[in-house]
Amino acid sequence: MSKIIVGVDESPGSADAIALASSLAGMTGATLMLVNVFPYDTYPSRAMNRDFEDYLRQDSTELLERIRSAHGDETAEIKAVANPSSAHGLHDLAEEIDAGLIVVGSTHTGRAGRVAPGSTAERLLHGSPCPVAVAPKHYAQETVREPGIVGSGYDGSAAAQQALETAHRIAARTGARLRVIRAFRPLPFDVSPQKGVALARVSYNDKLHDKACENLDEAVAKLEGEPRGEPFFAVGDPAKILLEASEDLDLLVLGSRGYGPLHSVLVGGVAGRVVRDAACPVLVLPRKAGHVDEGSLFADAAQSVHG
């Protein structure tokens, strides 16, 4: 059975992460593993102090037990991990147990109801071997809206197609509506059109605009089964459009940009801006990873509906 790793500590964001992870676990049938990374380097050196490590591990375990008890789910696993970096500790554990998802909370220095990843979340988004979900500030205090709306950012890329398929599975599992968001940014007038294209720049933008509309309609039309998907097309800055759209969403699914280490989440400029100020939970998917294909956490969820 797939596991969802929930990074927790003594910050208020832990409750938000647990609330989001519990919702996703209920949808997918996955089990929760509450994980606290305590600052200790286990790499052999003269500075190693086993007694001090044992003390820190015991303190971390007691924290996890308190958090689990407050959560009210004694079936959730707990694990204390030694690592100087919280992000690296969660990353390594995810690889070790082949986790289906890592969930973390936002930093609580941002606005309420907004995703504002702290240093741990930021680093995870740039190197996780599995999808990463970030809960907005005060998410645990929100009233759940059912069936809700799942959004997917779509730009025609392979990463965006993976995000759309995953969002469709989640929407099907929860009975939510699916909104497919396509943002079109016109070519600036100080940038030359594509080489070899003998069109005025305005005409060229018109062609690109029409092509983007067609791609969005085609992507929505190819979706099989319910929900059918609601195309949403807007002209302007993609990050701004996605952020505005997040106000009406219960979850936004984004792909990672198309370069960097295989099987890793690597957030591009647009996705990076969105996860910092979204009004709803954001799920970022790794590039070309099995976690978004057959046998993945979200594929299993879809099979439980259509199987």
Phi/psi at 291 (5° precision): -65, -10
How many CA within 13 A on the CB side of residue 261?
10
The number of angstroms, rounded, from the C-alpha of 158 to the middle of its chain's C-alpha atoms is 17
CATH of domain 148-307: 3.40.50.620
Cβ density class 103-134: b for 16+ within 10 Å, e for less: bbbbbeebeebbbbbbebbbbbbbbbbbbbbb
Query: One fold for both 1-144 and 148-307?
Result: yes
CA-to-CA separations, 295 to 28, 144, 227, 291, in angstroms, rounded:
12, 28, 21, 7
From CA 87, how far away is CA 173, in angstroms rounded? 30
Residue with tokens 């069109």: 199
What is the residue extent of each domain of the chain? 1-144, 148-307
Nearest to 6 by CA among 174, 135, 110, 166: 135
Task: Provide the pLDDT for residue 177.
Answer: 96
Phi-psi region of 224 (alpha: psi -120 to 50; beta: other; left: phi over 0): beta
* 3-state SS class at 296: coil
Residue 90 in tokens: 């969660």
Question: 1-144: which CATH number, 2.60.40.10, 3.40.50.720, 3.30.10.20, 3.40.50.620?
Answer: 3.40.50.620
User: Within 10 A of 63 (CB to CB), how many other CB atoms are there?
Assistant: 19
DSSP calls for 219-241 = HHHT--SS---EEEEEES-HHHH
Task: Provide the pLDDT for residue 111.
Answer: 55
Strands 149-153, 251-255: parallel, antiparallel or unpaired by DSSP?
Answer: parallel
This prediction's pTM = 0.85
Q: Are 106 and 121 in contact (CB under 8 A)?
A: yes
For each successive 10 residues of the chain (307 residues), what is the average pLDDT? 92 93 90 95 67 92 96 92 92 93 80 59 81 91 78 92 92 94 82 52 79 96 94 94 95 77 64 85 74 60 42
